[in-house]
Chains A and B, each alone.
Chain A
Amino acid sequence: MNFQELYKTYNKQVYNLALHYVQNIEDAQEITQDVFVSIHQSIDSFQKKSTLSTWIYRITINKCLDFIKSKSRRNRVSFLTSLFTKDTKEVRFDHPNFDHPGVLMEQKEALTKIFECINSLRTNQKTAIILSKIEKKNQQEISEIMGLSIKAVESLIQRAKQNLADKLELNEGK
């Protein structure tokens, strides 16, 4: 399969998964580009130990998590520098701009709260819940993507759901 065909087959999968992680069109576009550049550079080293789709899922998830980590690092730095910069009149702390194009208007408020809680989960739990509840993957597929046993995936999903329920209840109480 050449690169064009690869892109044609998997671009939607990558872009939508990135959207679920960052909930922002621009960031998802950047991640999608990073993923396909990475695929182009490393396709020769793909050892076929998993399916192409699983391999691409893994690359996408890693790129999403790296992006989120680097963005929050930049936010922390800009927050700290703004405390000491004379030029800024106010402290800047950029919250992610919720702009998921797959979200219907009538569900936006509910989903904003849910994604806020998903974003605060631990990395593994976040990935498990996104793959299971949004990507609709079964546990076998999730275990292949995450490189974990099915039992571990089951446990992650349970804990993620519990944590989400607790956080959402807390939010409702506010």
Chain B
Amino acid sequence: MKTESSFLKPLDTIQEVETPPFLLTRIHQRIEAIKANQISPKLAWGLAVSFSFLLIMNMVILNGNRKEKHENNLVESLHISTNNDLYK
């Protein structure tokens, strides 16, 4: 009489095999390759801080230029003299 899973009996004959010996070397090579492509956290932070600093400096300078331009426009429109010489 055929038991419920007698058709799966051939699966019992599958044998365990050894891993090829060169696999560990290949794994190490892949790990090294990944490490070589990674940016260290220190470098990443350094780059982030430098970039932020540059961005802020840029914004400060641009803001300063804008303020100066606005003041100049105001001075011109109101015909205000910017020097104290009485007899120019």
A residues whose Cβ falls under 8 Å from a Cβ of B: 7, 11-12, 14-16, 19-20, 29, 32-33, 36-37, 40-41, 100-104, 107, 110-111, 114, 133-134, 161, 164-165, 168
Contact A37 B19 (CB under 8 A): no
Quick check: B27 and A164 within 8 Å, CB to CB? no
Contact present for A40 and B31 (CB under 8 Å) = yes
Complex contact B27–A7 (CB within 8 A): yes
Q: DSSP majority for the B interface?
A: helix
Residues of B within 8 A of A (CB): 4-5, 7-8, 10-20, 23-24, 26-27, 30-31, 34
A12 near B19 with CB under 8 A, answer: yes
Chain B residues whose C-beta falls within 8 Å of the C-beta of A164 in the assembled complex:
7-8
Instruction: A33-B26, A111-B11, A133-B11 are known; give 7 further A-B pairs, CB within 8 A.
Output: A33-B27, A102-B15, A102-B17, A104-B13, A133-B5, A133-B12, A164-B7
Q: Do residues A37 and B20 form an inter-chain contact, with CB atoms below 8 A? A: no
In the complex, which residues of chain B have a beta carbon less than 8 angstroms from the beta carbon of A36?
Answer: 27
